[in-house]
Structure 1
Amino acid sequence: MGYEAGPREELVQKGLLVLWAKNTVSIEVDGEPLALGADELLFLGPEQRRQFLVIDGLSYLQFNSLFHCILEQDQELGCKGRLFFSAAELPKIALLGRLGQKIKQTWADIEEELLLEAPHKLSLLRSLLRNLLIYANRLYLENHQKAAEKWPQEELVREFYYLVNQHFREKTKVSDYAKLLHRSPKTLSNLLKELGHKSPQQYIQERRTLEARRLLIYSNKSIAEISSELGFEEKRSFSRFFKQQTLLSPSTFRQKKGNMATS
């Protein structure tokens, strides 16, 4: 668990990450630029690849799933909750009002505790982290009232997103996930449409495309290896799929974005 930003362009890839932009900063998430305004929090899960482009005024809390295990059973705060697993958008929170001040104070308490060598340090850090995430979750819901009102329906959608994230390599049809959710494909499609989400098939395709983008940018695997890893029987089929999704061939995309794989 860390809280100090590292050298410029440092890659921080492991574990769950909470970023606090004290000034306007720029980062990359999965190869795409993202700007954070002053006093904004951003929550990133372990699979999202990130690179700091401008880190002055950026602090972070980073912790692994084992440290986070106390929250695993909490549908709203755990790794499957809205803060660390939001498929529709990257969860950002502006630190405003009473809850914003509580988050800032709790963050300061965590920083202070990290510097101490004292009994029960781990237990206290877990408690402080839980409080910070509770405040952040409440503030997120204040800023996203419609999502809060539709939380019961959104929970099924989130479970669909989670299942896709786990199985997109081998399960590529809406019917695969409808069966896992004990729903019909039509019911699942109608629910996502009613809540203003993308269609199930579109999300499945976008998740496969995202993984392809990650592998092309952050790995040294050949296009044929990536094709096989994503469940395509032929490299040609993968190339056609990728170009339909991005308007670029895999090789052109890799040349354009550059390869950031570490040796």
Structure 2
Amino acid sequence: MKHEYTTKLKGRLVLTDAYHADESLQTEKSLYRFIWVREGNITLEIDHQEVPLAKNEVISLTNLQHLEFKSIDGEYLTLLFNGNFYCIYGNDHEVSCSGFLFNGSSNVIRFILDEEEQKILNEIVEALKREFTVSDSLQEEMLRIQLKRFIIQATRIARRRLNITQEKEYTFEVIRQFYILVDTHFREKKQVQDYADLLHKSPKTLSNIFSTCKLPSPLRVIHERVEAEAKRLLLYSTKSSKEIADLLGFEDQSSFSRFFKNMTGQSTVQFRNEAEGKN
């Protein structure tokens, strides 16, 4: 099963149960993805890390995260869209998923649905299927509405799993905005003070907020985002360490090499060779 809609401005929305077998979709580098295991289990490789998913588990991935299917022992659905169809950054006030469901680190959001949540998301999927068969001037906006419903419900479910109550709303929003800013500026801004200034907070306040929520420190979040990008460039490009150091805003190759060794315990050469040996 595959339903697809493309706009005149190259917006794309796809619902499929065979993403793994669709080379054109897998090679499209602009797609955000929800994967929902409906029966059995599947194993994915995300940024070169194996991620097993069980029945009724949902995972959200950005266009930055590299995905491969390692094994499929069941059934799953994938909902895919690009920024031309629905921009999660420009419409952040509508869905509040940027920096939360979707961020550039390798730490992906995943959750298992209870019965009521399954029912809610399944109703949206069925509404999407119906709208894909309609052909009139309202189809595009109706499909966009159903996509927004899915994103909002997934955001609500993920927030419940993290126990984001109304009392914690402000704290959650600061953390989410921090992740958005890190995704945007990690190449040129690598100090907590940089982001504290953008958020009009002190570094200590930010550290306390992250500590209260039992999250890695703000500095660790920045470093993990840089690390994730470095690994992707080493794994999926032919760029040299010097070129990567320049792209990631390091003063020179040696400072990048020290950073990478401190984060991973390996040199860039060891990391690349080990990855190539596994393929």
If the TM-score is normalised by the length of the shorter chain, which range does it land in? 0.7 to 0.9
* 2:160 matches 1:160: no
1:19 alignment partner, SS class: strand
Unpaired segments ≥5 residues, structure 2:
1-12
Q: Render the CA deviation track for 1:192-213: whole Å, top value 9, x for unaligned.
A: 2222221122221111111110
**Matched residue, 1:6:** 19
Residues 1-263 of structure 1: pairs in structure 2 closer than 5 A? 1-4=13-16, 5-8=18-21, 11=26, 13-22=29-38, 23-55=40-72, 57-69=75-87, 72-75=90-93, 77-80=95-98, 82-85=100-103, 89-114=107-132, 116-119=133-136, 120-146=138-164, 149-258=167-276
2:224 alignment partner, SS class: helix
Answer yes or no: is the 8 Å Cα contact 2:99–2:179 preserved in 1. no
1:2 alignment partner, SS class: strand
Quick one: distance in 2 between partners of 1:176 and 1:218?
29
Answer yes or no: is the 8 Å Cα contact 1:44–1:84 preserved in 2. yes
What is the TM-score normalised by the length of structure 1? 0.87
Identity %: 34
Answer yes or no: is the 8 Å Cα contact 2:191–2:219 preserved in 1. yes
Corresponding residue pairs, total? 259
Q: 1:93: how far off?
A: 2.7
Answer yes or no: is the 8 Å Cα contact 1:45–1:84 preserved in 2. yes
Indicate how the Cα distance of structure 1 residues 141 and 168 shifts in structure 2: closer, same or farther if over 3 A, else same.
closer
RMSD: 2.6
Answer yes or no: is the 8 Å Cα contact 2:65–2:106 preserved in 1. no
Q: 1:259: how far off?
A: 9.2
Q: 1:100: how far off?
A: 1.6
Indicate how the Cα distance of structure 1 residues 159 and 97 shifts in structure 2: closer, same or farther if over 3 A, else same.
same
| Range that drifts further, 187-196 or 169-178 | 187-196
Question: Whose strand fraction is larger, Structure 1's or Structure 2's?
Answer: 2
Answer yes or no: is the 8 Å Cα contact 1:77–1:83 preserved in 2. no
1:204 alignment partner, SS class: helix
Quick one: distance in 1 between partners of 2:78 and 2:131?
15
Quick one: distance in 2 between partners of 1:156 and 1:71?
16
What is the TM-score normalised by the length of structure 2? 0.83
Quick one: distance in 2 between partners of 1:81 and 1:242?
24
Indicate how the Cα distance of structure 1 residues 113 and 143 shifts in structure 2: closer, same or farther if over 3 A, else same.
same
Answer yes or no: is the 8 Å Cα contact 1:175–1:185 preserved in 2. yes
